Amino acid sequence: MGMLITGLPAFAQQGAAPATPKWRPKAGIYAVPGKGFENACGEFQGLIVELAESAVSGDEWNCKITRLTDTAPGAIRLDMTCDDYNLAGSLNEPEDTIYKEVLLLKKIDEKRIVFRKTLNGEFKYPEYPASYCPANAQRAYLESKTQSKAEAEQKAMKQK
């Protein structure tokens, strides 16, 4: 039997399948769909994803991404250090307290994601769907960000 198996021609193995590109959410503002979606987008109150700047933010919280991990196709985990004005107030801690948080993001399609974020290091709320905000809100956010950055630079120059 061993002679028969070793005598058979070997089939050519196909090359490794091309690696599927790792999913990353589009940079910009996402908001929970439904009532208030347009308002949340227009006031930049949704989830703001800026992976190129290692930043994620929301309504009165800002995070710096310390690690990005691919957890499954179309899913990532962001380990972050965050400041959270409302959390600090509810815990009677100084406003500048830094918290270690985790944000889980999953792709639904090209314009929709699901997210879940810890609060003070614990998952206390379910995951939420979020849709990419319309182009006019994205443009307004970028303009506002550019203006804020210019104002901060001017203020820094005046202080020197």
pTM, full prediction: 0.81
What are the angstrom distances between the C-alpha of 112 and each of 50, 60, 130? Answer: 16, 23, 6
Check residue 18 and give its pLDDT: 57
Check residue 8 and give its pLDDT: 46
The residue type found at 15 is: G
pLDDT tens track for 47-70: 999 999 999 999 889 999 999 999
Q: What is the mean pLDDT of residues 89-109?
A: 95
What is the 8-class DSSP label of residue 160?
-
Confidence of residue 44 (pLDDT cuts 50, 70, 90): confident
And the tokens for 145?
Answer: 């960000």
pLDDT tens track for 79-95: 999 999 899 999 999 99
Q: Per-residue pLDDT for 143 more than 80?
A: yes
Check residue 121 and give its pLDDT: 95
69: closest CA among 42, 93, 51? 51
